[in-house]
Every structure is written in structure tokens, then in C-alpha cells.
Amino acid sequence: MNEFTIREASVADAPALAELANQYTYQNLDENARQGGFLTGSFATPALGAMLASVPGQVAYHQEELAGFVINSQLPAERYPPFIQAINELLPSLLYQQRPVTDYHWFYYGPVLVRQEYRGQGLLEQLFAATKQTLAGRFDLGVAFIATENAASRWVHTQKLGLEQVGEIEFQEQAYDILVFPIA
């Protein structure tokens, strides 16, 4: 089992995060590699920098290698791509504990990634715990979306981390689950 150093991500981390994230996007992985999970979209350094500036994220290193990350955000709706804008429009109709998601002080959780060679070692759980600890008292709820076909990510987030599905959305012929988790 490897040892990881986890710290709060900064805007200065954005170039390395973009480089790693883009290696794991749906379009850059073959069908076999996608079975371990994948990211949706593409990631530019300026966009990730803006996300990191809006809500703290986490990075994990094994020695000098970036092993994984959690990027969170809360940007004005117009700063997000059309897909996220569509989710924003849907959120008031989705309920968590019998209240609209938008009644909570919420943020977007993700993208989230653990480099393939470090999976299965508890790193995502550590990053998730660090995220919740960092954001306790600042937010009530994290909101995530995962491609329905991304079974590995859906399983770890619902079965291991306890995220709860509150809705779904279809965008450009792709289905996504919308999930939430409490910070406290």
C-alpha cells in the first residue's frame, strides 16, 4: 500500500490537473480502460483554475507523482458549459431529504480522479474525507453527476462513499445520474 500526501489544491495545480484529467476522458480511453471509470468532457487549465478558485479541491501525491484529485466548484451558471447549465436548470426540481437541492448551500463535486495504478488503495476515500473536512461549515451539500454507463464510478460513489441519487438527465444522447451527499 502506498502512502499519499493530500493537500488543498491551488490554482497553480491546474496545469497538472488538466494534463492528468485529459488522459482519463471517455474519448481518450479505449472500451476496456473505460471499465475502470472515466471522466466526461475535456479539461482546460483556465477552466480548472476558475473552479479551484471558487471552492477548494484536493490533490494527492505519491512521492512526486500526482496520484489523484477532487475538484469542486461553484461558478455563475454562465461560466459552465451547456451540459452543466442544463443540470443547474434541473436542480430546483430535485429533492434531497424532501427539500429542493437548491434550498441547500451546495457546490459541484467533481471531476474526481485516482490514477489507475493507485486505485483500490483507499485514496478516493481519503480525498473525499478531506473534501468534507475542508468544506464543513461552508456548504451543506455536494452535487455530482456521473455518466450512467460509468459503472465503476457510480459503484464507488454510491456504495463506498454513500452518495445518493436524486435525479437523472439526458444530454446529447448520454444519460447521467445526479447524486448528492451531505457535508456534515
Q: Distance from CA of residue 111 to its chain's centroid?
A: 3
State the pLDDT confidence band at 41, using cuts at 50, 70 and 90. Answer: confident
Give the Cα-Cα-Cα angle 78, 79, 83 (nearest 5 degrees).
75
Residue 98: CATH number of its domain: 3.40.630.30
Q: What is the pTM of this model?
A: 0.94
Range of the domain at 96: 5-182
Q: Residue 184: its pLDDT value, please?
A: 85
Read off the pLDDT of each residue in 38-59 and give the average, rounded to a whole number: 94
The dihedrals phi and psi of 116, each to the nearest 5 degrees, come to -50, -45
The per-residue pLDDT for 67 is: 97
For residue 111, cis peptide bond before it (omega within 30 degrees of 0):
yes
Residue 63: how many other CB atoms lie within 10 Å:
9
At 171, which amino acid appears?
A: F
pLDDT at 8: 97
Q: Cα–chain-centroid distance for residue 24?
A: 13
What is the model's pLDDT at position 79?
93
User: What percentage of the chain exceeds 70 in pLDDT?
Assistant: 99
Cell output for 14:
491546474
Specify the number of domains making up the chain. Answer: 1
Q: Could you read off the pLDDT of 73-97 as tens digits, one per residue? A: 999 999 999 999 999 999 999 999 9
Q: Give me the pLDDT at residue 100, please.
A: 98
Mean of per-residue pLDDT scores for the chain: 95
> pLDDT value at position 141?
98
